[in-house]
Structure 1
Amino acid sequence: MSKRPNPELIDDTNPEWTDDEFKRAVPFNKLPASLQGKVRGRPKAEVTKERISIRLSPEVVAAFKQEGSGWQTRIDEALKQYLKEHKDDHRKHA
């Protein structure tokens, strides 16, 4: 078996690392922020929501989904509004 690399797989603009280059390498998260560039993904929220499982009637889900994307956020807002309007009711049951 030949130890020569397949010439079609050789990339002169991106040569294989030497042992010395591997020794000097550092993890990406250890690089200075100026070299890391823009952080990908969604920014971290200051206030996070709690992930739960909830069972809702099909007509409630359909009505919120019918308004398009963001339906879960609209359900959250509707529940917050309910709490504001029934603040005293909840204190009685707590």
Structure 2
Amino acid sequence: MNGNRKDTGSKWVDPDDAPELPDEWFERAELRDGNKVLRRGRPKSAAATVAISLRLPPDVLDQWKRTGPGWQTRMVASLRQHAPKAQRI
């Protein structure tokens, strides 16, 4: 052993001998851009909506749902069309 080096007791392992990482490991991995953690999922909308609680008669809700996928978007369009116009004071 060279007199200038300390023996740390660790043995160097060739990176090619590292175990293969399973897909589950990557699915749980934290994605980062520098120090910033990147969140998964849908990006935030510039025109975010507001969650509310609204009570509707079951038959009205069923009618909208029966119109098929996109019924919520169509309901919003109808509400917009029938919303009272702002009054100037």
What is the TM-score when the length of structure 1 is the normalising length? 0.49
Q: CA RMSD in A?
A: 3.4
Runs of 4+ aligned residues of structure 1 deviating over 2 Å after TM superposition are: 11-14, 27-33
Aligned positions, number: 63
Unmatched tracts of structure 1, length 5 or more: 1-10, 15-26
* TM-superposition CA deviations, 1:44-76 (whole Å, max 9, x none): 210111100000112211111001122222211
Gaps of 5+ in 2: 1-17, 22-29
Highest Rg: 1 or 2? 2
Report the Cα offset of residue 77 of structure 1: 1.1
TM-score, normalised to structure 2, is 0.52
Greater fraction of residues in strand = 2
Equivalent residue for 2:34? 31
Match of 2:10 in 1: none
1:49 maps to a residue whose letter is T
Alignment CA distance shift 1:42-1:30 (3 Å): closer
Query: Per residue, is there more helix in 1 or in 2?
Result: 1
Identity of aligned residues (%): 33
Question: What one-letter code is carried by the residue in structure 1 that aligns with 2:48?
Answer: T
C-alpha separation in 1, matches of 2:53 and 2:19: 53
